[in-house]
Structure 1
């Protein structure tokens, strides 16, 4: 039973990885529209350093989290993805440097999926 669970978890992770890779490739062809940052902040997350599960072996990481609004064909949408694949910084200073590019009210170029306009991203890499 444990082996079956591991195979199932591996299959899900593989599927999500392939889906993400395909979306990264497709997004290079997505059209763009103007949007506006509605919120931006840094959150601290933890990443396990040791595979042994020792709770003292977590190190802080920092992620830029933001929200933005945009319109496609007059229809309003909102998004939260900066990149297709999330990114965490080990240094808060680097996260703050990226955050400085996205102050609330900032106009941004939004890449959106023409087949699903609610799916969007700000950065393609």
Structure 2
């Protein structure tokens, strides 16, 4: 097997492993958060942040990140968090991002779940992440296939 083929296979396997790890970590965190204690929080700010990225050809993609900043108290400490849920809640649709923050207007008092072992680790929603990380992991199979194809052609 040539180095390019080996490199592509290794890259594909690392890609698959990384996105699969991120997906299952988010699922496990969300599941753990279901049993964390909760306290009333106070929403400080709520917005949709627009993020643009460009590829090498100059094409741009726009992503919309729902961001909720909230305060909560535990163990006599006032803490702040901004995690809506585990996993990446950003969207290619502004409307979906706005829907995600709809329940969290400034001044509302949502329940904040916090990790009793690390009280600064907190979340508003315990919903499991969608399949986006697994979909991204599947793209790693393309690298593996291209690497194996490259080897066959060499």
TM-score, structure 2 length as denominator?
A: 0.64
Q: Which protein shows a greater Rg?
A: 2
Give the helix-richer structure, 1 or 2: 2
CA 1:47–1:22: 2 relative to 1, 3 Å: farther
Q: Which is further off, 113-122 or 21-30? A: 21-30
Cα RMSD after superposing both structures: 2.6
1:17 and 2:20 equivalent? no
Report how far residue 99 of structure 1 moved: 2.8
Q: 1:102 aligns with which of 101, 104, 110?
A: 104
Is the Cα–Cα contact under 8 Å of residues 30 and 85 in structure 2 kept in the other structure? no
Q: Which stretches in structure 2 are left out of the alignment for 5+ residues?
A: 128-154
Give the strand-richer structure, 1 or 2: 1
Q: 1:68 aligns with which of 70, 85, 90?
A: 70
TM-score, structure 1 length as denominator?
A: 0.77
